[in-house]
Structure 1
Amino acid sequence: MQPNRTVTETEFKQRQQSVTLEGIVEESVKVNYTDVGSGPPIVLLHGIPTWSYLYQAVIPQLEEEYRVIVPDLLGYGYSDQRDRFDRSLHVQAKMVIKLMEHLELEQVHLAAHDIGGGVGLILALEEPDRINKLVLSNTVAYDSWPIEEMLMVGHPSWKNKSLQDMKDFLSKGYNEVFAEREQLTDTFLEGITAPYLHEEGKVSLVRNAAALNTNHTTALTPKLSDIQHSVLLLWGTQDPWQPVETGEMLEKDLPNSELVRINHSAHWVPQEAPDMLAAEIKRFI
């Protein structure tokens, strides 16, 4: 398999737009997002420790048929990184709704990865009319998270680590948990880590990790059967962090769901298997 052409961080960031939103936390916050293409709107949500750049190889495959909106979650990427607000799943869900209101979107399809999937489950339960179809990729659910590495980074002492320490930690996470090695290009690794390799970004990632709370998904567990949306579960089966068994549990608990296993991918499905991810999204929608 030949690697897809990797967009640089600079190229990706140049296409982003920025908006100041209110009503999410106590003060107004900046949200950066990509908004390209035309057609039925689909929102893509990333996880930790990434940003919307995770979808750099997926967006071009969707934008010819869909209006593709890809925000940086609060505290992530080039959205607000100030050390003065909550970054929990419920706050991120509010951000998605406020961004939809800003863009005058009543309903969207939603595709989400990692903690973005936890946000997607919250939205499906709390704002069901806002979500059409739901795609979850190697998502957090039940008590599958936070993983040990994120618990470590979330300790306040990590704000005192050097930028080199943070770079080494992030690089290790990609190098060790990437099944499709040819897709882990130097350009992608530089782009996906860039927002966290300065002082404010480093501290922001520590706060993002500190906000991870398994109670936010265990509270959803008895309600999963209430989700009536059509749900596609796309799972990289070589993922040691969010194993495919979690996807199998979700397939049983979500009444209108189907599980598609991606056997050649580990955790980073949008970069490891972008062609299959985009194709499955198109088929499902």
Structure 2
Amino acid sequence: MKDWWQLNFPKGRQSLTITDANGYPVKIAYGEVGTGKPLFLFHGVGSWSYNWRNSIKPLSKYFRVICFDAKGYGFSEKPVSRRETEGHQVIEFVRIIQALCNEPVVILAESLGALTALAIAQENPDLIARLAVINVPIFAQKLPHWGMSLLSQVPLELIQTIDSLRLPYLFSPLVREVMAIERRSVLYNPSTLTKEDVYWITYPYLEFSGTLTKVAEELKIAAQEIECSQKNKPNWLTKIQSNLSNINVATLIMWGEHDTWFPASDGNKLHQHISNSRLQIIKECGHDASSDASLIINKNVINFLKDTQFI
């Protein structure tokens, strides 16, 4: 299989070192293509830059597209010896943007990445020129999948042992099959998932020790945030919800009509909280919108940026 990074970015996979939320240096994998104003792509939980495979080249005709793997995901460093706290990605994403750009950027973000983008728009509004979010878990009532719930409950020490023994790699055919089944479940049209897609989606889990551990850790944080929210205890998720009206940047909200993880009604609710926003419900689209409806998403983003006089 040809190197995905080399195929999509002129310089292939590049590396950037930032200081993470814990104060330690961490290497972030990224790629960039195109010229012009910067547009960042944020992936969701358990994913990596590959999820944007159908948007990178089309958007690079208009922008300098920058795609990176969050700490712990994809090809970025996975510091399993250090525990994370809620909101760490906000700090780290801001530092990535500041390291690569010296002007306000466009952010196109999906799922957990979109939740992080909303928090950045609240805390660092000067960094964002335009914002586009897809299927945001902003009003989540629970972890949306049984596998996520299971991972969030397993002791991290056990998962770290599984990772260190390279068990996912040893059982790679089974891992690929299970993840293919689960990925198809969040697609409106499951037949669009190819063998190449399955290969690259599962690649970090099979090849890089620590991937499963860091994803499980993020899910534990998410489960705790949702539980605190339901019990009216102070938490990061509720803080973002409470400050949505403070987001003033022009915002495009896109939602898959058939998102079984977070209903399209959440998109309407989010739209009502952000005054300078527009909502587009995408038909024939599930939760994995960047795969399901990339042509529509690319078109919507370009039209939105033209309408708001950004291009």
Asked if TM exceeds 0.5, the reply is yes
Q: Looking at both structures, which has the greater relative contact order when contacts are Cα pairs under 8 Å and sequence separation is at least 6? A: 1
2:72 to 71, 75, 81: 75
Partner of 2:217: 207
1:235 to 230, 255, 260: 255
Percent sequence identity is 25
Is residue 48–residue 73 contact of structure 2 (8 Å, CA) maintained in 1? Answer: yes
Matched position secondary structure for 2:137: coil
Is residue 19–residue 92 contact of structure 2 (8 Å, CA) maintained in 1? Answer: no
Aligned-partner Cα distance in 2 for 1:235–1:117? 12
Is residue 100–residue 106 contact of structure 1 (8 Å, CA) maintained in 2? Answer: no
2:241 to 221, 226, 239: 221
Structure 1 residues 73 and 121, CA, compared in 2 at 3 Å: closer, same or farther? same
| Residues 152-209 of structure 1, C-alpha deviations (whole Å, 9 max, x = no match) | 2123346166424654543232122211234211111211121112442222322232
1:257 to 248, 256, 277: 277
Aligned-partner Cα distance in 2 for 1:170–1:129? 39
2:192 to 183, 188, 194: 183
Counting only pairs closer than 5 Å after superposition, residues 143-154 of structure 1 correspond to structure 2 as 143-149=140-146, 150-154=148-152
CA shift at 1:34, angstroms?
A: 1.5
Aligned-partner Cα distance in 2 for 1:72–1:143? 24
Aligned-partner Cα distance in 2 for 1:8–1:103? 22
Do residues 247 (structure 1) and 245 (structure 2) align?
no
Structure 1 residues 171 and 117, CA, compared in 2 at 3 Å: closer, same or farther? same
Partner of 2:309: none
Partner of 1:41: 38
Is residue 9–residue 192 contact of structure 1 (8 Å, CA) maintained in 2? Answer: no
Is residue 5–residue 31 contact of structure 2 (8 Å, CA) maintained in 1? Answer: no
Aligned-partner Cα distance in 2 for 1:168–1:70? 27
Matched position secondary structure for 2:297: helix
Q: Match of 1:96, as an amino acid?
A: F
| Residues 20-78 of structure 1, C-alpha deviations (whole Å, 9 max, x = no match) | 11253221111111111111111110001111110011001001110111111111111
Is residue 187–residue 286 contact of structure 2 (8 Å, CA) maintained in 1? Answer: yes
Q: Match of 1:220, as an amino acid?
A: I
Structure 1 residues 167 and 10, CA, compared in 2 at 3 Å: closer, same or farther? farther
2:13 to 7, 13, 16: 16
Aligned-partner Cα distance in 1 for 2:7–2:85? 29
> Once superposed, what is the RMSD of the aligned Cα atoms?
2.3
| Residues 52-106 of structure 1, C-alpha deviations (whole Å, 9 max, x = no match) | 1100110010011101111111111111112033455621111121112211333
Q: TM-score, normalised by structure 2?
A: 0.83
Q: Which has the higher helix share?
A: 2
Q: TM-score, normalised by structure 1?
A: 0.90
Gap regions ≥5 residues in structure 1: 1-5
Q: Match of 2:51, as an amino acid?
A: L
Structure 1 residues 208 and 49, CA, compared in 2 at 3 Å: closer, same or farther? same
Partner of 1:3: none
| Residues 203-245 of structure 1, C-alpha deviations (whole Å, 9 max, x = no match) | 2322232232334222221211111111111111111102111
Q: Match of 2:122, as an amino acid?
A: L
Aligned-partner Cα distance in 2 for 1:134–1:79? 24
Query: Which one has a bigger Cα radius of gyration?
Result: 2
Aligned-partner Cα distance in 2 for 1:247–1:103? 31
Is residue 44–residue 71 contact of structure 1 (8 Å, CA) maintained in 2? Answer: yes
Task: Count residues in correspondence.
Answer: 280
